[in-house]
Amino acid sequence: MDRVLAFGCHPDDVEFMAAGTLALLSEHGYEIHIATMTGGEVGHPALSSQEIRAKRLEEAKASAEILGGHYHYAGGRDLEVEYSTVYRKLATRVIREVDPLIVFTHAPSDYLIDHEETSRLVRNAAFIAPIPLYDCDVSTKLTDCIPYLYYWNAFGLVDIFGRPIPVQFGIDISSVIDTKEKMLLCHESQREWLAHHSKWDAYTNNMREFSKKDGERIGAEYGECFIQHLGEGHPKDNILKEILGTLCVELD
């Protein structure tokens, strides 16, 4: 069974921006893996870092299990993600452990530096995971090939200058929007944190708003939009179009 990996920075990042597409791929027989670079260690007004990380990792695991999938914690710390030797090895270990055919991650331009650094780290790890002489400091098998790599839309659907991300296509997730919401609702502690920190308690409403706006771009009720990484070494055909057919709508 071919594997799909959605690799975000924090627990719940994947659910906001790509869980619908994961649900569709699961329906088509793909094994789903969700990974996060950090454990969301600073995201609670009362719990300690250790306590909130333990809670958020359990929430992430529960979310992945809705799709019969698997969750991986890379080992990084919230608000400290950097493009460094340590984090490159953490990211590569996860890629090698999963050995995915398809990888999803953050857009290169997003509102939070942690997201942007995770995007760079996952991009790098996808490329170097098959290289025999790259040492991750632990025994890991090499990946079989460089995977398909896709960036999901930026949070809020714009880059740091308020401009729309130049997405190339969207996936119609209307049939699985309730599954996406169910996965997001697993992250109850993050909903509590956002209500405290941002005075914002519209967790699922905002997810649906983002999905509705992406859906409008492709003529669907709900959608998720992506950019494919087409750099040297990565596959150039759009495998999501091959798998999902008319649910994958290319944009002009």
- The DSSP-derived string for 147-201 is PEEEEEPPGGGB-TTSPBP---EEEE-GGGHHHHHHHHHT-HHHHHHHHHHSS--
Q: What is the pLDDT of residue 12?
A: 95
Nearest to 73 by CA among 106, 64, 239: 64
What single-letter DSSP state applies at residue 30?
Answer: P
Q: pLDDT tens per residue, the chain (252 residues)?
A: 899 999 999 999 999 999 999 999 999 999 999 999 999 998 777 789 999 999 999 999 999 999 999 999 999 999 999 999 999 999 999 999 999 999 999 999 999 999 999 999 999 999 999 999 999 988 889 999 999 999 999 999 999 999 999 999 999 999 999 999 999 999 988 777 666 566 656 778 889 999 999 999 999 999 999 999 999 999 999 999 999 999 999 998
- CB contact at 8 A, 110 and 160: yes
- Exposure string of 122-160, with b = 16+ CB inside 10 Å and e = fewer, is bbbbbbbbbeeebebeeebeebeebbbbbbbbbbebbbe
pLDDT digits (tens, 9 = 90+) for 89-138: 999 999 999 999 999 999 999 999 999 999 999 999 999 999 999 999 88
Predicted local confidence at residue 47, as pLDDT: 84
Domain 3-250 has CATH 1.10.260.40: no
Angle at Cα 98 formed by Cα 5 and Cα 50, nearest 5°? 80
pLDDT of the residue at 46:
77
Residue labelled with tokens 């708003």: 209
Q: How far apart are CA 94 and CA 62, in angstroms?
A: 19
The per-residue pLDDT for 104 is 99
CA distances from 18 to 8, 184, 195, 207 (A): 10, 11, 23, 11
How confident is the model at residue 231, as a pLDDT?
96
Q: Which helix (H) or strand (E) holds 55?
A: helix 49-66
| pLDDT of the residue at 201 | 61
Question: Three-state DSSP class for 250?
Answer: strand
| 148-152 and 223-228 beta bridge pairing | antiparallel
Q: What is the pLDDT of residue 215?
A: 98
- Could you give the CA distance from residue 151 to residue 225 in angstroms, rounded to a whole number? 9
Give SS3 for 31. strand
- List CB contacts of 142: < 8 A, sequence separation 6 or more: 96, 129, 130, 131, 132
